[in-house]
Amino acid sequence: MDTVTATRRFFLKQLASLGAMLTVTIPVKNALAVETKTALTSVRISQSNVDHTRVVFDLSGAAEHSLFSLESPDRVVIDLKGVRKSAALVSDENQTTLLQGIRSAVRENDDLRIVLDLNAKVRPRSFILQPDNELGYRLVVDMHGTKLSPTPIKTSQQERRKKKKEFVIAIDPGHGGKDPGAVGRKGTKEKDITLAVAKKLKQLINRTSGYKAVLTRDSDRFVVLRHRVEKARKHQADLFVSIHADAFKSPKVEGASVYALSLNGATSEAARWIAHKENSSDLIGGISLDDKDDLIASVLLDLSQTATIQDSLELGSDVLRHLGKVGKLNKSSVQQAGFAVLKAPDMPSILIETAFISNPREERRLKSPKHQQKIAKAILSGIKNHMKNQLV
Ligand SMILES: [Zn+2]
């Protein structure tokens, strides 16, 4: 044994004993880690009709999830990343017409796997709700039976669509007239950008067979929010897409974001929120309303009352994904309100902040007709994508 080997052995021995010491401390560390993990605290189940079951998982913090379906027997599997369970999942109350029961198991990688045993094949959809004043993070899983009725989802919309054959998209160019919206450093007005993008989008939509676009304003004029939504309704719009450009104190802030809200029954509270918007940074899913003008605040609030979370979120994420291909994203997921209770589908609505007009680079791009066309194309691609998934 030469000196080098001896020295190496010595170090290996030291390392081994260090390893032994580490082994002792690992369980403690793990115990601490477990404490900081997101917990599944309760499960709530509701059935709006024989064909629809909703399962809401209350979580102590944010969590990533994935979901897939399996057949014979029919079941839906949900994997919650790094989530521990502190709620009993098996109970007789867990049963609905579609749902037979709920099982769960901790997987090797520390994820929690939840299995929903079903009585029929379902079409599952899931989304995470941000915390609000009353409730924390929630994972919502909606299941619609596929056997019991061939077209269980969005029956009202589909019926309407069948009758009129065309799919109507209301495009709402933000601001206008006496309300310029945000103004860029070079003097670019948001109201002009939103109208330009909206007109391009309208043209693209009208060139698509089966689609029809309606503008809530087609010139530089002031239109109150209520009339914008009324116009969309009058034309029996299937979607409402409000186009804006963002602004912030710092010129560095950049990227697009999409808002989809559903504040069902918030009518009386809407006024209060707008009045207190200076203190309301947490009210709308962490979106600070004090950076936005009253009009946007009210657009957000009003839209939210008519939208369904599910549709709006799905539409929003499709649009966001396509916007990410033509520019930067400010937020990589659709922003949303937390205090949402779903309502019957009416008019899924999203509000798109195309980019930051307060960012000199983005202001330049927003002014370019070529880039405006790219944004319009991205929005249409997102809408088409969403529609494709709806009709499957
Ligand atoms: Zn705006």
Q: Ligand 1 centre from 245 Cα, in Å? A: 5
Q: What is the pLDDT of residue 277?
A: 40
For 76, residues 6+ apart whose C-beta sits below 8 A from its C-beta are 67, 68, 69, 70, 115, 116, 118, 122, 124, 141, 143
- 350 vs 166, 275, 308, CA distance in Å? 20, 23, 10
What is d(CA 233, CA 342) in angstroms, rounded to the nearest whole number? Answer: 19
Give the model's pLDDT for residue 34: 40
Contact 336, 260 (CB under 8 A): yes
CA distance 60 to 299: 31
Tell me, in angstroms, the distance from the centre of ligand 1 to residue 176's CA. 10
Note the helical H segments in 123-265: 155-164, 190-206, 225-234
For residue 67, the model assigns a pLDDT of: 84
Q: Which CATH architecture has domain 38-145?
A: Sandwich (2.60)
Question: What are the Cα distances from residue 218, in Å, to 119, 213, 237, 241, 245?
Answer: 51, 12, 16, 14, 17
Q: Could you list the beta-strand ranges (E) of 211-328.
A: 211-215, 239-246, 257-259
Q: How far is CA 262 from the centre of its chain?
A: 11
pLDDT under 50 in the chain at which residues?
1-8, 10-35, 148-155, 262-293, 304-307, 337-345, 391-392
Residue 96 CB neighbour total at 10 angstroms: 19
pLDDT digit string, tens, across residues 354-368: 999 999 999 999 999
What is 155-391's CATH number?
3.40.630.40
For ligand 1, the distance from its centroid to the CA atom of residue 242, given in whole angstroms, is 9
147: nearest Cα among 125, 121, 123, 116: 121
CA of 182 relative to ligand 1 center, distance in Å:
6
Domain boundary assignment for the chain = 38-145, 155-391
What confidence score (pLDDT) does residue 275 get? 41
CA distance 200 to 191: 14
Which residues lie near ion ligand 1 (Cβ < 5 Å)?
174, 181, 244
| pLDDT score at 310 | 66
Q: Tell how far the Cα of 285 is from the centroid of ligand 1, in angstroms.
A: 18
DSSP-assigned states of every residue in 57-113: EEESS---EEEEEETTTTEEEEEETTEEE-S----GGG--SSEEEEEEEE-TTSPEE
Distance 229 CA to ligand 1 centre (A): 16
Tell how far the Cα of 190 is from the centroid of ligand 1, in angstroms: 6
